[in-house]
A = this chain, B = another copy of it.
Amino acid sequence: MTPSSALPDETVHDAPSARQQAVLDAVLALLVEEGDQLTMDAVARRASCSKETLYKWFGDRDGLLTATVRWQASRVHAGRDAGSALDAATLRDRLLDFAVTWLDVIAGRTSVVLNRIAIAHAGSRKSNLGGIVLANGRLAIGGRVKPVLEAGRAAGFLTFEDSETAFRTFLGLVGRDIQIRLLLGDALDLDAAEIRRDAARAVDQFLALYGQARP
């Protein structure tokens, strides 16, 4: 199927092979352990492969970074958003689930490091890692939350005009200043219990703002 060996240019456009995934995992590990001064030499050493192979597979340093971000993004997308029977309690549960998941992600070491890379990159233009991170983070979860909000509105549990605005308020209530503080190096380690509490508070506040007053 894949035109693998015919072309000289076989940089990774499609899904990475198992060996390539191992390389990308090495990059992630290196990124998490060391700060972000990731060198190609270090990657090659860590992944036990040659730099030449690295360049053959990923083109250049940017390509490697891009592939890494994509690879990480591909493992996060595991959301169960089946079901459509929506009562007030399940609506709340769904929102709570999103909030917990979101906080788990942004508080994770990997997310912090990858966001740092993408942000640093956004400064020196070229190859928008920022766009990729944005698309796979905020936008992806937005695409899954907004339908739930709209279903909630259709069922009469929520009131709002613009689902995007409502969603962004939700994000604000959940994330608050956590992400920027982590990115700036604030210690601030959230354990699972605190995340659950934060998420619950955010959902309560969101419902207080957008929910119908219980008659």
CB distance from A100 to the nearest CB of B (A): 16
B179 A169 Cβ-Cβ under 8 A: no
B208 A130 Cβ-Cβ under 8 A: no
Asked if A78 is at the interface of the complex by the 8 Å CB criterion, the answer is no
Minimal Cβ-Cβ distance residue in B for A180: B179
Contact of A123 among B35, B138, B171, B174 (CB under 8 A): B35
Asked if A26 is at the interface of the complex by the 8 Å CB criterion, the answer is no
Minimal Cβ-Cβ distance residue in B for A204: B209
Q: Which residues of B contact A172 (CB under 8 A)?
A: 172-177
Asked if A183 is at the interface of the complex by the 8 Å CB criterion, the answer is yes
Q: Which residues of B contact A68 (CB under 8 A)?
A: none
Minimal Cβ-Cβ distance residue in B for A165: B201
**Residues of A at under 8 Å CB distance from B?**
35-37, 113, 115-120, 122-125, 128, 130-131, 133-134, 138, 168-169, 171-177, 179-181, 183-186, 205, 208-209
Q: Which residues of B contact A134 (CB under 8 A)?
A: 181, 184-186
20 A-B contact pairs sorted by A residue (CB < 8 Å) = A36-B123, A36-B124, A37-B123, A113-B123, A115-B184, A116-B123, A118-B184, A119-B119, A119-B184, A122-B185, A130-B185, A130-B186, A131-B184, A131-B186, A134-B185, A168-B177, A172-B172, A179-B180, A180-B180, A183-B183
A183 B37 Cβ-Cβ under 8 A: no
B179 A168 Cβ-Cβ under 8 A: no
- Contact (A138, B181) CB under 8 Å given A119-B119, A123-B35: yes
Contact of A36 among B120, B138, B175, B177 (CB under 8 A): B120
Q: Which residues of B contact A125 (CB under 8 A)?
A: 35
Contact of A175 among B113, B177, B209 (CB under 8 A): B177
A35 B138 Cβ-Cβ under 8 A: no
CB distance from A45 to the nearest CB of B (A): 19
